[in-house]
Copies of this chain bind each other. A is one copy, B any other.
Amino acid sequence: MLQNTYPGKCSGTISLEATLYRRVLPQDCIAFSSTQGRRLFKEAINSESNFMQIYFPLAEQFITQAEPAFCGLATLAMCLNALQIDPGRLWKGTWRWYSEELFDCCTSLSVAREKGISLSEFLCLAKCNGVQTEEYRASKALKMDQFRSLVKRCCSDSSEIMVLNYSRIVLGQTGDGHFSPIGGYHADQDMVLLLDVARFKYPPHWVKLSLIFEAMQQIDESIGLPRGLVILKSDVKNCLSQNELSKSMDPAAAKMVRSQPCCFGVTTIPPFHSSQAYIR
């Protein structure tokens, strides 16, 4: 019997057989650090098409989700840190920084801990934290060529990050709804690199673009709509000007979110319409 050592939880015992150390990655998913994964990475990074630009800021901020249902919150924290957005509020010690605990907004952390968050709640949190968002439901109106063009756009620059909301089932993985940012694109193989924050379960991996596209098209049963994607971009209008920045910050990098009360609800987010691919 093993002791649950995590502070803040009721202590208890659980049998070894009831616990897991990772899962075997399905055949269609190629682990980042496998021989094949390293080869794909090297080919992509050396390609003249250069769709690995977004890899660098994301690799700098890759994290493991702090709770089993925090895939959306962890993905957002990772992306906001990669976009060098200053949260304008305290994390720990004297530092301002994003981690999942800072997202007690749009939905409560206790609910997120139990159920995770929806794509709408992800959008709400992103907007509340001062990023521009461009969102697409993977309805029939969104074609694979359009998706590929968006992937290429986001991967060829360090200023925009694409986050996918998809069903793990299509990838042959256990579980269902999940969030991952795209960390790069291999044009010749038409594969994307998923920087999956559930690293206690699966390592980061390469998958065919067509497969992840199909995984996004699956219906989110909780709302009866297909899943989709969000592109995150730092919003200069919502950020403090350079003159307003604290002298303690890197003046070339920091983009502070204007202090604002949290909406504490998702009513400010326009509802998705499945007939539209591009909402805003």
What residues make up the interface of A, taking CB atoms closer than 8 Å to B? Answer: 2-9, 14, 16-24, 32-33, 37-38, 41-42, 45-46, 56-57, 59-64, 67-68, 81, 86, 88-97, 99, 101-102, 104, 109, 158, 199-201, 203-204, 246, 248-250, 253-254, 256, 259
Contact = CB atoms under 8 A, between A and B. Distances in A.
A88 B2 contact: yes
Contact of A57 (B33, B89, B250, B259): B33
Contacts of A63: 63-64
Given A32-B59, A60-B204, 19 more contacts: A2-B259, A3-B89, A5-B89, A5-B90, A5-B104, A6-B90, A9-B92, A14-B94, A20-B249, A21-B86, A21-B256, A22-B250, A23-B250, A24-B250, A33-B59, A37-B56, A60-B199, A62-B62, A64-B97
Contacts of A22: 249-250, 253-254
A93 to B, nearest CB: 4
Contact of A246 (B8, B17, B81): B17
A139 to B, nearest CB: 32
Contacts of A41: 56
A14 B93 contact: no
